[in-house]
Amino acid sequence: MQSIGKAFQRGFSLLEISVAMAVILLLAITGIPAIGHYVIESKVPKVGEGLARFIVQAKVNAMGVDPAPYRGIDTALFAHSVRDSSVFSVLGTGAGMRILHGLGDKGEVRVAERVGGGAFAITLTRVNDAACPSIASVMQRVADTISIEAEGRAAKVVKAEQVPFNAMAARAHCGRGNSNTFIFGIG
C-alpha cells in the first residue's frame, strides 16, 4: 500500500520545470512586443477621432472670422476640449501642461497657431511605428497638410495641396520605435 502512495507523490523534475519555464519565457519575449503594437494600433481611431473633433469644432467656430480665425488657438484650448477624454491624458496646468496621446511612450500633443492666426498645426511627438501610417490615414480627411519627421531624417510632406495623400509613401517615411513626429496643418 505504501508503494502506491509514493507513486502519486512523484512531481516534476528540475529539468522538466526548467524546460517549461524556458518555453514560457521565449513565448513572452516574442509575444510582448506584438501585444504592445496591437494596443497602440487599437488607439489610433480614438486618437484620430479626438483630433478630428477638435479640428471640426475649430473650423466651425472660425467661420466668418477674418483674416485670423485661429488666433489664440493653443495646447491649452485643446486640453480643455479633451480633459474628460478616456484617450488623452492631460498632465499639469498652465505653461507646464502636457497632453499625452498614447500612440508612443511619452508622446505629446501640441497645438499652435500659424500664419498670424490664419492657420494652426497639431503636432504629435514620439509616435510609435505601430501607429504609422494609420494616424495619417485617419487625419488626411480633416488636415490640409501632413508631414512626418522620423528621427534622423528630414521632414517629408505626405499631404498638401499639390501632394495627394498616399499611405504607402507615409509608411515608407516612418522610422522604427517612438521616433516619429506628425504635423497636421489646418487652414
Strand residues in the chain grouped as ranges (E): 89-91, 98-100, 109-114, 119-127, 145-150, 156-159, 180-186
Residue 162 confidence (pLDDT) above 70? yes
Q: Please state, in angstroms and rounded to a whole number, the distance separating the CA atoms of residues 98 and 37.
A: 23
Cα within 13 Å of Cα(33), Cβ side: 9
Residue 102 confidence (pLDDT) above 60? yes
- Residue 53 main-chain phi, psi, to 5 deg: -60, -45
Q: Please state, in angstroms and rounded to a whole number, the distance separating the CA atoms of residues 26 and 21.
A: 8
Task: Supply the pLDDT for residue 107.
Answer: 95
Q: What angle do CA 34, 30, 44 make, to 5 degrees?
A: 10
Which pLDDT tens digit goes with each residue over 40-55? 888 999 999 999 999 9
- More confident call, 159 vs 92: 159
Domains and CATH numbers, the chain: 44-186 (3.30.1690.10)
Task: Supply the pLDDT for residue 31.
Answer: 66
Kindly state the percentage of the chain with pLDDT values over 70: 93
